[in-house]
Every structure is written in C-alpha cells, then in structure tokens.
Amino acid sequence: MKKIAFIESASEMGGVEFSTLYLAAHLDRQKWQPVVICPREGMLASACRAENVEVQIIPAPELLPTSIRINLADLRIPNPFAWLWNMAVLWRGANMLRGFLAHTHPELIVTKGMSAHFLGGLAARLAKIRCVWHVQDFISERFFGLYRAVFGLATSILPDEIVVDGKSIANQLPARVQKNTFVILNGVDINIFRPNENARTALRAELNLPPQDLIIGHAARITPWKGQHHLLEAFGKIAAKYPNIRLLLVGAAIFDHDDYEKQLHTRAKELHLADRITFAGFRTDLANVLNAMDIFAYPSVEKDTSPLALLSALACGLPVVAFDIEGVQEVLGTSGMIVPVRDENKLAAALEVLINDSALREKMKNASREKALEKFSLEQYVRSMEKVFLQEI
C-alpha cells in the first residue's frame, strides 16, 4: 500500500472538505493508506474517523489578511507587511510539517485549500516527497492579477502535478504547467444522493413544510457570491401569484458574512415573506434536505467549479435553474435552465416556467439523475483521481 497524506486548510465542512472526505474514504484500500492532516479538531476530523480514515492534527500557522479593506470606498489595497509575515510563518510551519512527514513517510502529498497548497507544497519540497495540488478555488484577479501571478509562480515550483475541478481554474494557470494539470470534476455518492420519497416526507415534517406545497430550494454556504439575495428577490417577484410555493435556504454563514445572513432575514421580512422562507442553517443530511425540494436554484454569481451541492441536486433528480457562470455550464450542459447572471427577472421567469409545467419538471428530473449517473458518480471521480496519483494519465 502507498501512504497518501491529505493536507487540509480547514477543519469545518465546506465543499473542499467534503471532497477530501469522499476521496480519502473511498480510495482503494488495497492500494492506499490515507491520512488526513487537519489544522485543528472539527467536523472534518470527526467525519474522517467515522469512515475509518486516519487523522492527524497539526496546527497550521495563523496567516494575516493579505489586503486591507477601506470601508468608506469598499476597496482593498495590498498589505505588504502581511505578505512578509505570511512568508515567514509559512516557512516555519513547513519546516514543522516536514518533521511529521519525515516520521510518517508518505509517498504522496495532496494539498487541499489555498494556504495548504503553499504550506504543504513547501513541506513536500523540503522532505522531497511528490506533491499534488488539488485546486478547487478560483484564483483572485485582485490588484491587477497580483494574486494570480504569485500563485502561478508557485505552481512552477511546489507541486509535481495539479488537479483542478473546473476548466476555468485550469485556464488561470500558466502555460508552462498545463502539461501537468488535470481537470477532474467532483463526484458524489449516487447511492446516497438519489430520489427518496421517505426522506422527502420526513424532512418536510421536520421543517414544517406543507406536503402539498412546491418547494424551491438552495443549499450552499451563506455568502454574497453564492447569490442567495438574488434568489430571494426572484422569489419575491412570484410569491404573491403562487401562494403554494415556498423557499428553502440551507447553509450557514462563514468567515465575516454573518451580516449578510442577517440582511437576508431582514429582506424576507420586508417582502412580507418570512413565513414562506425557511432558513434551515447548516445540515449534515444534505441528501434528505434535497429530497424535500421540488426545484433546485443555484444563483452563484462567480467562480463556482463543479460545486458538490449542485452535483448532489442532480443526483437527487432535481430540475435545476442556475445563473450562467462557466463552472455551472460545465456541469449542467443542456440538463438545466441557465439564465443571465444577476438577472433576477429572468431567474423568476425560469422558476415560474417550472412551477407551471409539471411535465417539464418530470422531464428535467430524469435528465438530472441520468447526468449524475453518467458523469458525476463518486466511483468515477475517485478512480480518475487515483490515475493521477498513480501517474497513469
């Protein structure tokens, strides 16, 4: 067996962390011995242990924000002190991590999350261990491409190969690393994420959602670029016309976006729709939550690449309406209804089409499930990743 170490940037569960869990738990255990390295205890560590995946807690260095927000102008400027500080603490952290790697002798390191790419990549270079960056975050174009340039330089030095979960990320990388860059879209367990009438009934009862109502749903972290405010406004445009529809928002705020979540609640009250919009918070039973929905809306306005929530919705056989961003196009193709980004009127109109056409909803439900079975099964995803790890592609 080959020992493989996954180095994570975070300990709580988001899309990147779920993909780490799925991958580590479903590798061929005849070939691989996975260990997930987390910066602290959290839901990821607990979930990995529940799947009999070894976990090591190695504190990561605390990094400073690399920019300063000027609130009056809502602008950001680079923080040179933070860049220098972060370089110093990353070097120190990489040397500490190298000690652990030298003791455990993994044959391959896979980094997950932006800070982990630098920390784990540098530690791998110091320990002379092959390193794969699994890049699932769009690279910021701020400051005239400064972040992208720094990241591009690092891709030429630290990783041996790069896996990205969308073509839009691959297109951001320098030409010199394209030959070692592989596009592998994410996958979900189609046996867990599947149409389930029992789950639908139970979850609706738990959330006090009337069984006869039509539920428009969304699941993602609560943050402005996920576009929940656009979905809320679109719902507001059609709610009065259809008293039997409801909106279900699943997810929690992260980082500094608590104010954004409060704004969503306030806006729901302003629209006099608080009794028809359910904020379910963070849920671990995503398959059950999705089965409570009739239509899945995905209003991300930027940078999403093969998002797990969207793939999970397809696997559960939900018709999808989404904004027209590259990562969503790559997943949906012709399987969903795609409308212009930030166009709340077009979003509302697309939702209204599905509300009024049960035959179209049924057709799209079948197309969604077929797409997931064909393209986005967890088995396909894991086998494709293993081919990179084994250098077979």
Assessment of whether the complete model's pTM goes beyond 0.75: yes
Residue 144 is predicted with a pLDDT of: 72
Angle at 146 between CA 331 and CA 164, to 5 degrees: 25
The type of residue at 6 is: F
Q: Comparing C-alpha atoms, which of 195, 159, 196 is closest to residue 174?
A: 159
DSSP character at residue 177: G
Whole-number Å distance between alpha carbons of 19 and 13:
10
Contact 350, 321 (CB under 8 A): yes
For the chain, strand residue ranges (E) read 2-8, 32-38, 54-57, 67-70, 75-78, 108-112, 130-135, 161-164, 181-183, 214-219, 245-250, 277-281, 295-298, 320-323, 337-339
β partners of residue 163: 134, 182
Tens digits of residue pLDDT in 359-392: 999 999 999 999 999 999 999 999 999 999 999 8
Which residues, at least 6 apart from 256, have a Cβ–Cβ distance to it below 8 Å? none
Whole-number Å distance between alpha carbons of 393 and 386:
10
Token pair 């077929």: residue: 370
Find the farthest-apart pair of alpha carbons in the chain and give their distance in angstroms, rounded: 65
Q: Comparing C-alpha atoms, which of 354, 355, 326, 325 is closest to residue 340?
A: 325
β partners of residue 4: 34, 108
Structure tokens at 249: 């928002």
Low-confidence ranges of the chain (pLDDT < 70): 69-75, 255-257
Q: Comparing C-alpha atoms, which of 330, 309, 385 is closest to residue 133?
A: 385
DSSP letters for 134-148: EE-SPPP-HHHHHHH
Q: Comparing C-alpha atoms, which of 303, 138, 279 is closest to residue 219?
A: 279
Residue 393 is predicted with a pLDDT of: 77
Whole-number Å distance between alpha carbons of 267 and 296:
21
Residue 257 is predicted with a pLDDT of: 61
Q: Which domains does the chain have, with CATH numbers?
A: 2-187+378-389 (3.40.50.2000), 197-375 (3.40.50.2000)
- Reduced to 3 states (helix: H, G, I; strand: E, B; else coil), residue 232 is helix
Whole-number Å distance between alpha carbons of 256 and 4:
33
Whole-number Å distance between alpha carbons of 294 and 323:
18
Which residues, at least 6 apart from 211, have a Cβ–Cβ distance to it below 8 Å? 201, 204, 205
DSSP letters for 31-91: TEEEEEEESSSSHHHHHHHHTT-EEEE-PPPPPPPSEEEETTTTEEEE-HHHHHHHHHHHH
DSSP character at residue 188: B
Tens digits of residue pLDDT in 12-56: 888 899 999 999 999 999 999 999 999 999 999 999 999 999 999
Whole-number Å distance between alpha carbons of 34 and 20:
11
